[in-house]
Amino acid sequence: DIQMTQSPSTLSASVGDRVTITCRASQTISPWLAWHQQKPGKAPKVLIYKASNLESGVPSRFSGSGSGTEFTLTISGLQPDDFATYYCQHYDSFPYSFGQGTKLEIK
Amino acid sequence: EVQLVESGGGLVKPGGSLTLSCEASGFTFSFNTMHWVRQAPGKGLEWASAINRDGTFIVYAESLKGRFTISRDNARSSLFLQLNRLRAEDTAIYYCVSQNPNGSYDWGQGTRVTVSS
């Protein structure tokens, strides 16, 4: 099974900052990687799919990159609405799996 | 607009059973692979099961094999998850997730399952 490791687990940042979250897979999964955002008490929603494709309606300050086993989610110019938990997920082969999550907190 | 509406969650005793449903609209249901993903209280996301477009390919997380059964009814645009021999550790919010042909996803709002005596 493919294991997904996210870092950091917690990230403190300020409005306007540029932040990066990293996700590493235990084997090559490119490009089958999605990033999901979840706010407290709400269902997740997809931000990025196939490593770098921005989901329709998602602000352009979100971007995804990477290939092979290492991927990043970057948020350029943090907005108050962006403070949430972010999960990476591979869908290269079954069983699909998620990273453990990165909680983005207000500094 | 894509909508995925789960139902069927609730409180059940250990060893009991429950059937979750997900009613889909706003897209061609029969074109998409469908998944169930669960989230235990205060924990991360756990992929549970998937079924392909016509129901001929089904896969489960190892920890759920033999107890959970996924199925779909394309005529009714509905996805199901039958949960048997429930344990306390199955307590979670269960999300219905649609995997689109382009590789993107849509999530339902979830239905809560609590296993407790």
The answer to whether A89 contacts B50, with C-beta atoms less than 8 Å apart, is: no
Residues above pLDDT 70, as percent of chain B: 100
Cα of B89 to nearest chain A Cα, Å? 18
The answer to whether A96 contacts B47, with C-beta atoms less than 8 Å apart, is: yes
**What mean pLDDT value characterizes chain B?**
97
Q: How far apart are CA A95 and CA B5, in angstroms?
A: 24
pLDDT of residue B65: 85
Sign, CA torsion B56/B62/B66/B67: negative
- The pLDDT tens digits for A65-106 are 999 999 999 999 999 999 999 999 999 999 999 999 999 998
Helices and strands, counts by H and E, chain A: 0, 11
CA-based nearest residue to A35, from A92, A107, A102, A83: A102
Task: Tell me which chain A residues have a C-beta less than 8 angstroms from the C-beta of B103.
Answer: 32, 34, 49-50, 53, 91
Task: Tell me which chain B residues have a C-beta less than 8 angstroms from the C-beta of A34.
Answer: 103-105
Could you give the 3-state DSSP secondary structure of residue A19?
A: strand
Cβ-Cβ contacts under 8 Å between A and B: the total is 55
The string of DSSP codes covering A25-68 is: ESS--TT-EEEEEE-TTS--EEEEETTTEEPTT--TTEEEEEET
Q: How far apart are CA A60 and CA A105, in angstroms?
A: 20
B27 touches chain A (CB under 8 A): no
Tell me how far CA of residue B24 lies from CA of A59, B3, B109, in angstroms.
26, 6, 12
B35 touches chain A (CB under 8 A): yes
- The pLDDT tens digits for B81-99 are 999 999 999 999 999 999 9
A100 touches chain B (CB under 8 A): yes
B108 touches chain A (CB under 8 A): yes
B102 touches chain A (CB under 8 A): yes
Count of CB atoms situated within 10 Å of the CB of B6: 23
Burial classification of residue B53, based on how many CB atoms lie within 10 Å of its CB (0-12 exposed, 13-18 middle, 19 or more buried)? middle
**β-sheet bridge partners, residue B45:** B39
CA dihedral A14, A15, A17, A22 (to 10 degrees): 80
Cα of A15 to nearest chain B Cα, Å? 25
- The pLDDT tens digits for B22-72 are 999 999 999 999 999 999 999 999 999 999 999 999 999 998 988 999 999
